[in-house]
A and B are shown apart, each in its own frame.
Chain A
Amino acid sequence: MERVLQAVIVAIGIPAATAGFIVLGERCLALLPGRSSNALRPWLWLTPGLAFLLTFLLYPSVDTLVLSFRDARSTMWVGLQNYRVIFTDAAFLTALRNNAIWVVAFPAATVLLGIAIAILVDRVRYENTAKALIFLPMAISFVGAGVIWRFMYDYRPPPLPQTGTLNAFLTWAIPGFQPQAWLVNNPPLNNLALIAAAVWLWTGFCMVVISASLKGIPVELFEAARVDGASEVQVLRHVVLPSLSSTVAVVLTTMIIFALKAFDIVYVMTNGNFDTEVIANRMYKELFNVRDFGRASAIAIVLLAAIVPVMLLNIRRFRQQEETR
């Protein structure tokens, strides 16, 4: 009960206090001469936001970099020792390899499926229903998806009946098929079983964004191509796909970042066992199981370094957008 009250106070009180801060600040600005009040005004409005960005994103990023050069308890400088340790640690190297698999397979699958489904549903009358159903997993947490897909992949040693959907379906459809423990067998391929669960969640996102862009292609373009006698395939190749390219680029970068940061789904489904470790889960283990802040920070920095190129790409793309605005 006390916590309910606390939550209500925060949900109403903090916005009210922030608004009060702005109103009060404006009152003070009104007392100043016009020029200096105009110069100070933006900073008044920015202060709460910048304070949070500074405390929870900017300062911690710098601090993590510093901690990555210090020991497990952050008491002594150890130079590059943490980096040397993680890059010779078999578990971390496995994680690097698996993230490489994620970064290739996950964006490729989500984006290709997204394009294909967007084009297909565009031609049927029940488009909205189909899209809603494919998009629905977006509302499900990775934890929920983890349970759903562990259940899909469930395996029982024969002759017990298979109650996991995938094994049951395959033993029914293919005579002589041996049920598989999908999450355990055949590393590193079992990573694909985890990736499939993530693909199921995120294809809807790609489809929705690509579908919107597809609908934005001017009808005249299609008509002109058809008047010129272009076949459906040619229209697809020379009209549709080129018009989608910038959207696909955006979606692709989003998916790549996601693949680099993959955590929850691995944590819930295998916790990195059976050679399915990923960087983010490795960091979590260093932080909470090993309690080594130095190595955990070094891993976080490696993750950030992998994302920096995408970040710069985004910034560049944003500047181009602004120029054409």
Chain B
Amino acid sequence: MASTARVPQHTGSMAHAVAMLRRLPLNTAVVGITILWTVPTIGVLISSFRPPELVSTTGWWTALQPPFVFTLENYRRVLSTNNMGQSFVNSLLLTIPATVVPILIAAFAAYAFAWMEFPGRTVLFLTVVGLLVVPLQITLIPVLRLFTELGLTGTLPAIWLAHTGYGLPLAIYLLRNFFGSLPKEMLEAAAVDGASPVVTFFRVVLPTSIPALASLAIFQFLWVWNDLLVALVYLGGSPSVAPMTVTVSNLVNSLGQNWQLLTAAAFLSMAVPMVLFLSLQGYFVRGILAGSVKG
């Protein structure tokens, strides 16, 4: 009995080993690609914790073996002397209103596009679809002139207004598609119960659309937080209002080979979006899948 039982077990582990071997190229490829994609970020992260004399003489990978010499000095320095602390606050002040405002304005418009009949609806919505890919370079000069006339250049309201405008096409597009897919019966039931359009919108449509609104909010937050061009053009590089993207891009020129400081600054600017992204990845993916027409 014992010997007959061992035979299938033996072929079983053989088959297992063969299967493993057959999957080896696949696993090597996947693990290899994943490492390749992670190494650039890891290198920067490790370098940001290394003392300057080591960063300038040895590669970041040497930090992975003893003696382990790490320091927080680089972060302290960029936060205090390279304006990164102020820029962090600026980035937050700039991004939060520029995320909230366009979403609500877009939701009103999307509600009209999805559930109301009016002449020109198709043409107007096709215009929105067209605007999804318009390069914002085309708008820079007239908007800059407008802001200059209003005395808004170099101020946060300029950025809030501009990002609201630029974020609307995608927001309207996504929300209109989402609102449009809500069951008709639900909205009709609300109307039969005597709910006005305002009540239906705030009590029925918005609460059921929270996942879509969340995807959109992450999208817009990342887009505004990571933006360089809009901030560069309308804020004009004044350090008191510069967000982290602008400050880091200036440091690239002024710090040159001081990699320990540059990497610390870059990592500070990446921390918030990375945390947000990792914790809310599901919403982000959903947003991408719904809006992959956007350029």
Contact = CB atoms under 8 A, between A and B. Distances in A.
Given A23-B198, A120-B33, A56 B252 contact: no
Contact of B274 (A139, A161, A287, A318): A139
B249 A267 contact: yes
A146 interface: yes
Interface string A131-146: 0111111111111101
A200 B266 CA distance: 17
A57 to B, nearest CB: 5
A290 interface: no
Interface in B1-49: 26-27, 29-31, 33-34, 37-41, 43-44, 47
Contact of A136 (B29, B160, B277, B294): B277
B198 A14 contact: no
A59 B127 CA distance: 13
A147 B263 contact: yes
A130 interface: yes
Given A10-B101, A23-B198, A297-B141, A56 B166 contact: yes
A147 B198 CA distance: 48
A135 B30 CA distance: 14
A27 B269 CA distance: 46
A210 B175 CA distance: 22
Contacts of A139: 222, 270, 273-274, 276-278
B33 A45 contact: no
B54 to A, nearest CB: 10
Given A136-B41, A161-B57, A287-B141, A49 B273 contact: no
A55 B149 CA distance: 14
Interface residues of B, number: 112
A292 B129 CA distance: 31
Contact of A143 (B168, B202, B222, B249): B249
B252 A150 contact: yes
B109 A60 contact: no
A144 B97 contact: no
Interface in A282-314: 283-284, 287-288, 293, 296-297, 299-301, 303-304, 307, 310-312, 314
Main secondary structure of the interface of A (DSSP, over half): helix
A26 B199 CA distance: 11
B104 A67 contact: no
Interface string B135-171: 1011111110010000000001100111011101100
A300 B138 CA distance: 5
A122 B109 CA distance: 39
B105 A59 contact: no
Given A136-B274, A139-B274, A26 B228 contact: no
B33 A117 contact: yes
A92 B162 CA distance: 28
Interface of B: 26-27, 29-31, 33-34, 37-41, 43-44, 47, 55-61, 89, 92-93, 96-97, 100-102, 104-106, 108-109, 111-113, 116-118, 121, 124, 126-135, 137-143, 146, 156-157, 160-162, 164-166, 168-169, 172, 196-198, 202, 222, 225-229, 232-233, 244-245, 248-249, 252, 257, 259, 262-263, 265-267, 269-270, 273-274, 276-278, 281, 284-285, 288-289, 292-295
29 contacts: A7-B97, A11-B97, A18-B104, A19-B104, A19-B202, A45-B108, A45-B111, A48-B105, A49-B108, A52-B168, A56-B162, A58-B131, A67-B141, A130-B31, A133-B37, A134-B34, A134-B37, A138-B284, A139-B273, A139-B278, A141-B227, A147-B252, A151-B47, A268-B252, A283-B137, A300-B141, A314-B129, A314-B132, A315-B129
Interface of A: 3-4, 6-7, 10-11, 14-15, 18-19, 22-23, 26, 30, 39, 41-43, 45-46, 48-50, 52-53, 55-61, 63-64, 67, 117, 120-121, 123-124, 126, 129-130, 132-144, 146-152, 154, 161-165, 168, 200, 203-205, 208-209, 212, 250-251, 253-254, 257-258, 260-261, 263-264, 267-268, 280, 283-284, 287-288, 293, 296-297, 299-301, 303-304, 307, 310-312, 314-315, 317-319
